[in-house]
Amino acid sequence: MRKPELLAPAGNLEKLKMALIYGADAVYMGGKAFGLRAFSDNFGQDDMRQGIAFAHRLGKKAYITINIFPHNDDLAALPDYIRDVAAMAADAIIVSDLGVYRIARQAAPGLPIHISTQANCTNWATAQFWQELGAARIVLARELSLREIGLIRQKVNVELEAFVHGAMCMSYSGRCLISNYLTGRDANRGECAQPCRWQYHLMEANRPGVYLPVMEDDRGTYIFNSKDLCLLTHLPALVASGLNSFKIEGRMKSVHYVATVVKVYREAIDSYASSPVDFHIRKCWLEELQKVSHREYTTGFYFNKTSAQDQIYTSSSYTQTHDFVGLVKEYDPVSGLAVIEQRNNIKVGEEIEIMQPGQENFRQRITQMVDTGGIPIAVAPHPQQLVTMPLSRPVVPYSMLRRPEKTEPSHE
């Protein structure tokens, strides 16, 4: 079988590297303008150039998001920006707007164009239109069922991509005006304030200032708050649908999230490709997806229309079972010592789990730590503090240290 591409989010250069090292075939990232994630770190020109070059050194691909719905004032700088992206040898750009598509064709005729999910491609006729226009790939709307995707696949030869994991937008393929109305931040130009995750009250017109609670139970309700998408358990059906690319959402998610989710889907795709008949979902994969910050999981629109069961009415908080506490920078196989960059307060005596690309996880206790001055320490409390500690097995750079969570639900 031809393996589908595993496409991962890259909110900054570190996340890009982690996604590719942990098994993604390609990454998608945004610059400082023209993308729909204005509040992620995003990429300056130098970082974008480095990121594309890093992907290519690994034999992988990098796509650049230019998927805002621009107003007139946005267009003046767009042709030069597209030419710059093409000069960096980006593998494709991702666009939503027909005007941006037209400008891209004029500014960089040889640059492949992917059609964003924001363009709302929900049927085969629209897919044929984009194919006739010369698009290299269509990112299908999230509202499609697996059956509908299969029919589109039969009708077009263009590459098809779909989201398989991550946060779900309550509005139609992200075309939302709530943020703009309530905060002045335009979701369709990259500034969504995520008001769908807020808690709401009802106010009667003749009683201003009197807020009536909208309640599912005594904790209130979050009436727009969708569960997260997870299609890991339906991997064979996704492959059979003819999708060319499986996309993970999350350019604003953490390094830990990106590396963990990518590793799980990488292992699952490879396992299925090696022996489809014997394929089964491993318990450890499902456990891994609980370790990262997430909401409860759903299959979205893939198998049925969404219902109340696909919403979370009690909280907007994320849950996770483990905290990311350190990143391996160096490892000496002779001494068994690793240099760790601290990412969360860690102490001698704590049990940690080590996750590394392409290897099984393992657990151990921290028996000792030494700071950069060679002084033994009992705790590493400072952000990105460098410490040296013995590890019970060999590791590679970019391995991650984590521990069972002891704190309240995160808001990552």
pLDDT of residue 412: 44
pLDDT: is 297 or 329 the higher one? 329
3-state helix, strand, coil in the chain (%, to 5): 30, 25, 45
> Domain 5-172+225-310 classified CATH 3.20.20.70?
yes
198 in Cβ contact with 312 (< 8 Å): no
Query: Which tokens is 393 given?
Result: 């097995």
All structural domains of the chain with their residue ranges: 5-172+225-310, 322-404
pLDDT of residue 282: 96
For the cut 90, the answer to whether the pLDDT of residue 88 exceeds it is yes
Length of the chain: 412
Mean pLDDT of the region 6-18 = 96
Cα gap 131→137, rounded to integer Å: 8
Average predicted confidence (pLDDT) for the chain:
88
The confidence band for 251, taking pLDDT boundaries of 50, 70 and 90, is: confident
What are the helix (H) ranges across 202-312?
235-240, 255-274, 283-291
Name residue 22's beta-bridge partners.
none
Sorted by sequence, the CB contacts under 8 Å of residue 154 that are 6+ apart come out as: 124, 242
Q: How far is CA 245 from CA 23, 37, 92, 162, in A?
A: 14, 21, 14, 7
175 in Cβ contact with 118 (< 8 Å): yes
The confidence band for 222, taking pLDDT boundaries of 50, 70 and 90, is: low
For the cut 50, the answer to whether the pLDDT of residue 408 exceeds it is no
pLDDT of residue 294: 81
Instruction: Report which residue type is found at 244.
Output: N
Among 70-84, 125-139, 175-189, 307-321, the range scoring the smallest mean pLDDT is 307-321
pLDDT of residue 207: 80
Q: Whose CA is closest to 393, among 355, 351, 347, 341?
A: 355
pLDDT of residue 93: 98
pLDDT of residue 398: 96
pTM equals 0.86
pLDDT in tens, 145-196: 999 999 999 999 999 999 999 887 666 666 666 767 677 776 666 667 777 6
For the cut 60, the answer to whether the pLDDT of residue 27 exceeds it is yes
pLDDT of residue 409: 46
Q: How far is CA 207 from CA 202, 204, 210, 220, in A?
A: 11, 5, 6, 21
For the cut 70, the answer to whether the pLDDT of residue 214 exceeds it is no
pLDDT in tens, 349-398: 999 999 999 999 999 999 999 999 999 999 999 999 999 999 999 999 99
Between 3.30.300.20, 2.40.30.10, 3.90.1150.10, 3.40.50.150, what CATH number should domain 322-404 receive?
Answer: 2.40.30.10
For the cut 80, the answer to whether the pLDDT of residue 102 exceeds it is yes
Sorted by sequence, the CB contacts under 8 Å of residue 218 that are 6+ apart come out as: none
With pLDDT > 90 as the criterion, what percentage of the chain qualifies? 69
Cα gap 298→311, rounded to integer Å: 9
Cα gap 336→349, rounded to integer Å: 18
93 in Cβ contact with 135 (< 8 Å): no
328 in Cβ contact with 317 (< 8 Å): no
Cα gap 228→295, rounded to integer Å: 6
Cα gap 335→355, rounded to integer Å: 20
